[in-house]
Structure 1
Amino acid sequence: MVIKTGKKMPEKLETILKESVRLADIQYYMKKRVRLEGECLIIKNEKENKEYKITIKNKRVHLISFGKASQKMAEFALNLLGSRIIDGIVVKLKFAEKISEFPQNIKVIEANHPVPDSGSIEAAKSILNLISNASEDDLMLFLISGGGSAMVELPIDPITLEDAEKAFSLLIRSGATIHEINAVRKHISQIKGGKLAKKAYPAEVVSLIASDVPGNYIDVIASGPTAPDTSTYSDAYRILEQYEILDKIPKSVLEVIEKGLRGEIEETPKPLDKVFERAHNFLIAAPSDLAKEVSSYVSKIGYNSYVLTSILQGESGEVAKALSSIAIDTKKGNTSFALPTALILAGETNVKVKGSGKGGRAMELVAYFSREIAGIDGISIFAIDTDGMDGSTTSAGAFADCNTWRKIFKKYGLKAFDELRNNNSYELLDSLGYTIYTGPTGSNLNNLICILID
């Protein structure tokens, strides 16, 4: 994969970035954790040091893959299971290249992200049609990755696609966490929050899941279509109220949530629902896996490497201030981190959009970080979204060093501070060559941050 930047990155930072993108490949983790032995699918849980066996003998195996990593996950499964898969659906990201020629029995549908489109509706209807007449002799192999919430959607009547699009956009821009955003999404959808597992019953459901969610909550990734849901209509209403979008949300969305509150619409299926006796959800790749792999690599090239967290959350600007203070103190010898230091973090910060600028979580974090470390030699950072698209841009993220903010200020003057407040991190960084371009990676293991302190 070709990685492009407008200007030359610091050499060591660039080396680590290239290896990080390679290590974010979803198939790397699937090969480590999923294999076929005879007529059994073996799924390894390294955390539990346990292997699970799924018998596929005499089963009609159907493949359903969606999310930003759908193509690579489907390619792996098809190579592993071959003709055992009798049919299937792959929902690919609309503007991502087609990475594989799938067999004729696999239907490929393009859909949008971060808000749903007509392709998302088509994907949802096609999946429901595939699973609607399933029996105990069918095995539904779901391959789920982040981005699936938008890429597969069928709103509850009378919510229109346009109303769903508006609701998604309002939630994303509100500053709500992904857990909160998806709690609302589950309660306005016909497929999210365990509803696909319920629709597939009594078929056996096996879901292999790649996480893009801090904490790897199965019921939050892609809004948990095959997992029991612990959130409620009350939660959905509270979230809209908390983020002050109750009066902005489309009337049809509010109508559905209020009907749910009154018990006129059935709640999402909960953990004790019988459908989950035949639904098995397995986490096969996570941000923590990537952080550990990157840290191990960085240690081999001469750094004292530390994984600070794989569940990073918080507002991007505030997180940047906290991380820069750690970096500066480490540079001064005031922390227990040994120099030269590499701090590796994974997770997902959020941005409460107050302005009309262009940017994303990773770029906003880098822009604020660069301001805090201005003039302090020996500190550098990159932050990327591992799917290759940060926020509303085609950039994967950005990098910075001690000179970045000085150059921004020289170009923009005091307007630079206005652009930060306007959430215009892309313009600030891209205009000077600090943005990183990978194109859609076919993966999605959340955001990755690397800070070097020499």
Structure 2
Amino acid sequence: MASSSTTCLRNLARSIFQVGVEAVSPRSAVERAVKRVSNSLLVETDGQQYEFPLQENVKVVGFGKAVHSMALGVVDILGTRESRTSGGLGENIVAPVNHLTHAAVCSVPHGIVRTNNQLLEDRIVLHHGARHNLPDASAASAAWEIRDIAEACDRSDLLIVLISGGGSALLPMPVDGITLEEKRRTTQLLAQAGADITQLNTVRHHLSQFKAGGLARLAQPAQVLSLVLSDVLDDRLDIIAGGPTCNADTTREDCVKICSSLGVLPQLPRAVREFLESTGSSATPEQFPSSRVTNCIIGSNRTAVDAAVTEASRHVQVTFPYYGLIGDADELGCFYGRWMHLASAAYRGCGSSLAELYQWIMSRLDDEDLATAVVEACQQQKSFCFVAGAEPTVNVRGTGLGGRSQQLALRAAVEVTTASSGSHRRQGKAALPPSSPPSSDSRACSDMTALLLAAGTDGIDGPTDACGAMAHSDGIGASMKEAAACLVDNDAYSFFKNHGSGKDLLVTGATGTNVSDLHVLLFQHKHSSEL
């Protein structure tokens, strides 16, 4: 049963996560970066400013989990302008001028937009597709409409392209000789094998007419402005949604290496495998029109992490941000669970645990500043919060319900329970890896509470209604056998739903944004009054 301290930390973690998500609100991100001044559109990001003349010549397209809200922000900015004409009494008149040549066309995932807002329906055409993040006929229909708009552009036009996470599956247009179903099957095989977003998009680049700068080429000779809400931890434009407005330099040979390394090459549809293995490099595309294309990242995972850390600093004494945490969800869960256990012992004053804790953090993250900050917080009995921007992967072997964040959280819960009980017995495939070092003090902690929240900023984690889950230093007690079985079957959702009244599941509903995942790790001395 969770302690009152755990309940307090659970509420705080939810609050910190929510602030991080709100910081990457798509519409707010657009309004911060884009301004209209007279007959010009000004875009400012990363200290640079770009200006585009407005002559009722703007077309807007978008694809991704966040683009419907981004589009609302853009059409509001473009919808009116101040007229210099004076009225009969000398006052300035605000005359409505629509700089758009047509309604914005956006491709969004099924279930993302739940509204009957007439304003949205009148100004933005929405296509719903890519159920479970897999390309389908609905997404293909949207892709053809976006292609028609791009090809109709002339030199006087400005094509604004709105891009966010999930956009790649929403813009499917396979190369000649490959069907949409074959491309979809390829994507599914890669995802199930644990491919990360970089690997997925590298392969999809070469199976698509749109990706790797294809959309920007189709729109020539128009000016192209892309506003991007990044779901990629290092903000690589050629990876986000497949880089439809960014040049890329990968080859089919790279795709073959990826598929081979993941063990899926023999399982690929025949047409896909033959295309990727064909001799010679891919057909050389038309030269990329760099001088006519501007890509601007207006929000990212770093934005969310920084906002979450700021919120955490209002409640805890020491905070630490971490950008770009990647790896297998089970391995990361083991890392976090062991961290919680060792910190519990260190807070209790076990000197040898401080050294173990330092070494454990260094072994995985190799961050001396972080390891030192954690150890000092334990020594000084200070509350601590670690916020990481993360993108774990899961190698799906079972048939259960869950997602990468829930799998990670359950693995952490199993690890902290096992470590605190002093038992490192192997329990099937879900047992601790042999590399886990023994603890010098395995007694349960009674003086400190730790809690981990792992969740997706889009409000979605796998085919469930949850976006993530929490693990805490109270552990999962007598439920270890069931937890281990759920890990093997990738069924973390069922475990969390059936234990603790579901309080450790995080259910927010679709947030309308997507900048990958946030991990919030909190440590609080039980006698502290900080919370």
Confirm or deny a common fold (TM above 0.5).
Answer: yes
Q: In structure 2, how many angstroms separate the alpha carbons of the residues matched to 1:54 and 1:342? A: 41
Aligned residue number for residue 136 of structure 1 = 155
Q: Report the AA paired with residue 25 of structure 2.
A: D
For residues 110 and 476 of structure 2, the distance between their equivalents in structure 1, rounded to whole angstroms, comes to: 35
Offset at residue 8 of structure 1 (A): 9.2
The 8 Å contact of residues 120 and 154 in structure 1, kept in 2 or not, is answered as no
Indicate yes or no: 2:388 matched with 1:345: yes
Residue in 2 that maps onto 1:380? 451
Task: Give runs of aligned pairs for residues 6-17 of structure 1, distance below 5 A.
Answer: 10-17=10-17
**Residue number in structure 2 paired with 1:325:** 338
Judge conservation of contact 1:26–1:73 (CA < 8 Å) in 2: yes
1:74 aligns with 2:76: no
Q: Which residue of 1 aligns with 2:523?
A: 453
SS in 1 for 2:311: helix
2:493 equivalent in structure 1: 426
Residue-by-residue CA offset, 1:186-220 (whole Å, 9 max, x unaligned): 10011111110111111111000011112111110
User: For residue 336 of structure 1, what is the amino acid of its counterpart?
Assistant: A
Partner of 1:3: none
Quote how far apart the aligned CAs of 1:22 are. Answer: 2.7
Q: CA deviation at 1:244?
A: 0.8
Does residue 140 of structure 2 align to residue 109 of structure 1?
Answer: no
1:405, CA displacement in angstroms? 2.3
Distance 1:9 1:251 in 2: 52
- What is the TM-score of this pair, normalised by structure 1? 0.90
Matched, 1:148 2:148: no
How far apart are the structure 2 equivalents of 1:321 and 1:279?
44
Residue matched to 1:390:
461
Q: Any stretches of 5+ residues in structure 2 without a counterpart?
A: 1-6, 80-97, 348-353, 355-371, 418-443, 525-531
Q: Partners in 1 of 2:56 and 2:275 — Cα distance?
A: 38
Is contact 2:449–2:474 with CA below 8 Å preserved after alignment? no
Q: Deviations over 1:15-69 (max 9, x none)?
A: 32333343342233333222222222222223xxx23222233361000111000
Structure 1 letter corresponding to 2:452? I
Give the secondary-structure state (helix, strand or coil) at the position aligned to 2:267: coil
Partner residue in 1 for 2:145: 126
> Which residue of the partner structure matches residue 175 of structure 1?
194
Residue 267 (structure 1) shift: 4.5
Structure 1 Cα separation of the partners of residues 12 and 123 of structure 2: 46
CA distance in 2, matches of 1:294, 1:14: 10
Would you say the 8 A contact 2:154–2:220 is kept in 1? yes
Q: Among residues 290, 314, 336, which one is paired with 2:373 in the alignment?
A: 336
Q: Given that residues 233 and 267 in structure 1 are in contact (C-alpha distance below 8 angstroms), is that contact kept between their aligned partners in structure 2?
A: no
Larger mean Cα displacement after TM superposition, 430-439 or 202-211: 430-439
- Counterpart of 1:94 (choices 106, 110, 118) is 110
1:55-454 to structure 2, matched below 5 A, reads 55-58=52-55, 60-82=57-79, 83-87=98-102, 88-99=104-115, 100=117, 101-102=119-120, 104=122, 106-112=124-130, 113-259=132-278, 261-263=279-281, 265-267=282-284, 273-307=287-321, 309-331=322-344, 332=346, 334=354, 335-337=372-374, 338=377, 339-374=382-417, 376=445, 377-406=448-477, 409-410=478-479, 413-432=480-499, 433=502, 434-454=504-524
Distance 2:45 2:67 in 1: 21
Identity rate of aligned residues, in percent? 26
CA contact (8 A) 2:109 2:133 kept: no
Q: Does 1:54 align with 2:51?
A: yes
- Aligned to 1:41, the other structure's residue is in SS state strand
Structure 2 length as normaliser, TM-score?
0.78
CA distance change for structure 1 residues 285 and 28 in 2, over 3 Å: closer, same or farther? same
Alpha-carbon RMSD across the aligned residues, in angstroms, is: 2.0
Could you list the runs of 5+ residues in structure 1 that have no partner in the other structure? 1-6
8 Å CA contact 1:232, 1:268 repeated in 2: no
User: Any conservation in 2 of the 1:194–1:268 contact (CA below 8 Å)?
Assistant: no
Aligned length in residues = 435
Q: Tell me how far apart the structure 2 counterparts of residues 348 and 274 of structure 1 sit (CA, whole Å).
A: 30
Deviates further, 367-376 or 281-290: 367-376
Task: For 1:103 and 1:41, locate their aligned partners in 2 and report how far apart those are by CA, in whole Å.
Answer: 24
**Post-superposition shift, 1:449?**
0.8
CA distance in 1, matches of 2:66, 2:113: 12
Shift of 1:14: 3.2
